[in-house]
Copies of this chain bind each other. A is one copy, B any other.
Amino acid sequence: RSGCCQIAIIYDGKYTNTNMRLKLPITCFILEIILIILFGVLVEYDKETDAKKWHHSNHSEYDNDFYYRYPSFQDVHVMIFIGFGFLMTFLQRYGFSSVGFNFLIAALALQWATLMQGFFHGMQGGKIHVGVESMINADFCTGSVLISFGAVLGKTSPVQLLVMAVFEVTLFAVNEFILLSLLGTRDAGGSMTIHTFGAYFGLMVARVLYRPELDKSKHKNSSVYHSDMFAMIGTLYLWMFWPSFNSAITAHGDDQHRTALNTYYSLAACTLSTYAMSALTADDGKLDMVHIQNAALAGGVAAGTAGEMMLTPFGSMIVGFLAGIISVLGYKYLSPILESKLKIQDTCGVHNLHGMPGVMGAIVGAVTASLATKEIYGDGLKDVFPMVAPDGRSASSQGGIQAISLAVTLGMALVGGLLVGFIMKLPIYGAPSDASCFEDSIYWEVSSKKLLETSKLCICPQPVDIVSLETQ
């Protein structure tokens, strides 16, 4: 009999090059052993985690930064593993891979990021010092990789993704170093370093990996009812914890407090405009789960740079409001063009959720920075703009630097994505065929029973007696 259910079964036998029995273990083992050796040679506890160093100076146990950063870290951690992981489970037959590969590459990326960021951002005495701040920064860098994962979701093997993670983390750290250390850019929530970088890197990779015959697996590149419900878990955790994300590494005190507050208002306003635009752009006025799951988060992305600044709740809400509108319009009108004209198959629409809102956030940050004055920030100016206060560069210079940083980030992301895309295109990683994209059973044990359940959910070209398939 024909029908997609049978096609799925055929896949299993046919494309044996996707067999991961050696490729994946070898990659994982080599990478992890290298990591362990480098950690052994290079990594040390910082002065807040080392028993001797901490007790060497005189302070209360309660002054340890653990108590002022760790709750934020845990929220960020949930966003990385549950938020990103479940957001991508919207595909009907790709839930294991979405949440499972997200888990795998995040676990790798956070280790590699610890080394790369530590290397670029200040080794002390030849050692990388780790503590809760390095954990947050590593999770941030990981987030960038997961954004790129969203662009190529369903079309890559786990080995390809690990390779991408290694290179992208490295380039992320270089870009972050240029911005934060060399240029003195402010980007606490990563509108540029995380979202813009991750999105355009991933889009360029997707461009290089363009599959002209992806239509073959088109029927699986969509959601079913329960997969959309799982995706909403991811969406809501990202939405709820975004204030923690943007404020996780800002200066202590009012800075963290203000950043969380700004992001909270930006997201709330964004949600209203997302629902409005989703209904408005549909002929029948029905809400589209794709918009709700994604565009409602654009307010967090767009507040990533300016969130720590005196953006005011008023400003935050305007930013979020516009971000939601832009993002829905992107999903509705721009994504099809990206695919047809630019040959970029952006599975999760990261251009709409992270790309455009990230650029918008960078611009908002540049403008807000250029308007900073001692009158508005008082003695807090030095926390938000250490390069400006007390007698550094002018606020408008800072704004200019912010704008330059956006350009640098875009350049790094596009060139980096191009190069890494070609590395990922080598036919040695066991990538799926065009017809077996968006399909868990290529890389995961999915029993015939499990297959039956999901098979019923796909569109069959002709009536199929679903139960009798079981006996094939």
Residues of B within 8 A of A379 (CB): 51-52, 55-56
B67, A275: Cβ atoms closer than 8 Å:
no
Identical copies of this chain, number = 3
**Chain B nearest Cβ from A372, distance in angstroms:** 10
User: With A224-B450, A282-B21 in contact, do A240 and B81 touch (Cβ < 8 Å)?
Assistant: yes
User: With A29-B276, A471-B463 in contact, do A254 and B48 touch (Cβ < 8 Å)?
Assistant: yes
Residues of B within 8 A of A256 (CB): 64, 66
Give A279 to B39 CA distance when docked, in angstroms.
Answer: 26
Residues of B within 8 A of A232 (CB): 85, 99-100
Q: Is A335 an interface residue (CB 8 A)?
A: no
Q: Is A273 an interface residue (CB 8 A)?
A: yes
Give A445 to B277 CA distance when docked, in angstroms.
Answer: 14
A51, B236: Cβ atoms closer than 8 Å:
no
In the complex, identify which listed stretch (A71-79, A166-174, A210-218, A357-365) lies at the interface while the others stay far away.
A71-79
Q: Is A381 an interface residue (CB 8 A)?
A: yes
Give A287 to B23 CA distance when docked, in angstroms.
Answer: 12
B71, A70: Cβ atoms closer than 8 Å:
yes
- Cβ-neighbour of A54 out of B43, B71, B380 (below 8 A): B380
User: With A261-B45, A287-B20 in contact, do A61 and B253 touch (Cβ < 8 Å)?
Assistant: yes
B265, A111: Cβ atoms closer than 8 Å:
yes
CB closest chain-B residue, reference A158: B275
B107, A272: Cβ atoms closer than 8 Å:
yes
User: With A252-B62, A261-B49 in contact, do A465 and B466 touch (Cβ < 8 Å)?
Assistant: no
A51, B95: Cβ atoms closer than 8 Å:
no
CB closest chain-B residue, reference A93: B225
In the complex, identify which listed stretch (A177-185, A312-320, A415-423, A431-439) lies at the interface while the others stay far away.
A312-320
Q: Is A146 an interface residue (CB 8 A)?
A: no
- Cβ-neighbour of A271 out of B107, B233, B237, B384 (below 8 A): B107
B276, A444: Cβ atoms closer than 8 Å:
no
In the complex, identify which listed stretch (A129-137, A188-196, A339-347, A348-356) lies at the interface while the others stay far away.
A129-137
B64, A67: Cβ atoms closer than 8 Å:
no
Residues of B within 8 A of A2 (CB): none
In the complex, identify which listed stretch (A148-156, A392-400, A406-414, A454-462) lies at the interface while the others stay far away.
A454-462
Residues of B within 8 A of A460 (CB): 467, 470
Residues of B within 8 A of A85 (CB): 232, 236
Give A220 to B210 CA distance when docked, in angstroms.
Answer: 42
A32, B273: Cβ atoms closer than 8 Å:
yes
A312, B67: Cβ atoms closer than 8 Å:
no
**Chain B nearest Cβ from A132, distance in angstroms:** 6
Q: Is A387 an interface residue (CB 8 A)?
A: no
Besides A28-B275, A53-B254, A225-B453, 4 new A-B residue pairs in contact (Cβ under 8 A), listed by A number: A32-B321, A45-B261, A107-B267, A289-B444
27 A–B pairs (Cβ distance < 8 Å), ordered by A:
A29-B276, A32-B273, A36-B318, A50-B310, A51-B255, A51-B258, A51-B310, A51-B378, A52-B375, A52-B376, A52-B379, A54-B253, A62-B253, A64-B254, A64-B257, A70-B244, A71-B74, A82-B240, A95-B229, A100-B287, A111-B268, A223-B450, A225-B450, A225-B454, A282-B445, A286-B444, A449-B457
